[in-house]
Amino acid sequence: EADIYQTPRSLVIGTGKKITLECSQTMGHDKMYWYQQDPGMELHLIHYSYGVNSTEKGDLSSESTVSRIRTEHFPLTLESARPSHTSQYLCASMQTGGSGGYTFGSGTRLTVV
Amino acid sequence: AQSVAQPEDQVNVAEGNPLTVKCTYSVSGNPYLFWYVQYPNRGLQFLLKYITGDNLVKGSYGFEAEFNKSQTSFHLKKPSALVSDSALYFCAVRPSGGSYIPTFGRGTSLIVHP
């Protein structure tokens, strides 16, 4: 049973709209990550955080922003959605010094029309 | 820079037969290696990991993987495939020290035929 939750599960929005994808974990993990994945394709890292008030951009420029005000919460915001943002967004977390594995949420499927 | 190669986009196997999904990696220093499985419209589920110790790692659902340092490989195996094993499999690596950013392979689609 995953202890990392993403909402909404899926969403259809219009071009130009602002949207925030939520990710919360109850494990107290210090590190959190956002990945973008087209169906059945590889994962692209878009943002990560090593702790509260720490955020970094990943390899993929996605025109999104993140915040990490609380350990358990790592929301992703698209200020102005475009059709090219249509994808699945996966959130993950990991604890430094823990077992070394990454725990993933179930993902948010975003469609921009 | 670290990298992962999954040379097969798709692996087909008959139910009851053994399966292998290949993974090779490149990383500075000692590797931490992971296998994940993804079912349609879901996130990634952890299968197993290699951190240190025994080169043969056993994981969830009867899967295992063998770490081969000289060949820089971490192939996923199962002695007897099930139709329900059909899914997308991802190999990942990160160095044991330093970066906590894992690099994932492109994924291999496993199809188990009845």
**pLDDT digits over B80-93, tens only?**
999 999 999 999 99
**pLDDT confidence bin for A71, thresholds 50/70/90:** very high
- Label residue B62 left, alpha or beta by phi (over 0 means left) and psi (-120 to 50 means alpha): left
From chain A, the residues in CB contact with B42 under 8 A are: 106-107
Question: What pLDDT band is residue B41 in, cutting at 50, 70 and 90?
Answer: confident
Q: What is the mean pLDDT of chain B?
A: 94
Q: Which two tokens stand for residue A70?
A: 């609380």
**Which residues on neighbouring strands pair with residue A11, listed in sequence order?**
A110
d(CA A53, CA A50): 9
Alpha-carbon gap: B6 to the closest alpha carbon of chain A (Å): 11
Residues β-bridged to residue A13? A112
Cα–Cα distance, B108 to B36 (Å, whole number)? 11
- Peptide bond before residue A8 is cis, with ω within 30 degrees of 0: yes
Minimal Cβ distance to B42: which of A43, A96, A107: A107
Whether B89 and B37 have beta carbons less than 8 Å apart is answered as yes
Rounded to 5 degrees, φ, ψ at B3 are: -150, 160
> What's the pLDDT at A97?
74
Read off the pLDDT band of A59 (50, 70, 90).
confident
Task: Name the amino acid, one letter, at B111.
Answer: I
Question: ∠ CA(B93), CA(A41), CA(B102), 5° rounding?
Answer: 20
Interface of A with B in 51-110 (CB under 8 A): 58, 88, 90, 92, 94, 96, 99-107, 109
